[in-house]
């Protein structure tokens, strides 16, 4: 189980908005980049394709991290 983090309501909202953006617009943008790169031909020597796939991997890692933080956080109000 992931360690619980304390987040302010503002931080929680900011992370939730980032997660929503990455899972919607971000994934669409990456899919478009991969498709354009595929059209350039041979994937074994296609730098654009490999860069887009690397970007996709980093983005999916960030999505997993944000999901974990938001699922295991405690929202705290500052006194």
Instruction: Record the pTM.
Output: 0.87
Instruction: Assess if residue 56 is contained within a domain.
Output: yes
pLDDT tens, the chain, 79 aa long:
567 899 999 999 999 999 999 999 999 999 999 999 999 888 888 899 999 999 999 999 999 999 999 999 999 987 4
Q: What φ, ψ does residue 70 adopt, rounded to 5°?
A: -70, -35
CATH number at residue 57: 1.10.287.180
What is the reported pLDDT for 79? Answer: 47
The boundaries of the domain holding residue 62 are 5-71
**76 occurs within a structural domain:** no
d(CA 61, CA 75): 23
Task: Work out how many domains the chain is built from and give that number.
Answer: 1
Which CA distances in Å does 19 have to 16, 41, 63, 72? 5, 32, 6, 15
Residue 33 lies in a domain: yes
pLDDT of residue 64: 98
For residue 50, being part of any structural domain is answered with: yes
């Amino acid at each position: 189980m992931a360690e619980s983090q304390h987040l302010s309501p503002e931080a929680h909202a900011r992370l939730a908005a980032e997660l929503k953006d990455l899972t919607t617009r971000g994934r669409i943008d990456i899919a478009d980049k991969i498709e354009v790169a595929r059209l350039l031909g041979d994937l074994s020597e296609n730098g654009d394709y490999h860069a887009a796939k690397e970007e996709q991997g980093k983005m999916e890692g960030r999505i997993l991290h944000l999901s974990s933080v938001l699922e295991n956080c405690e929202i705290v109000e500052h006194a």
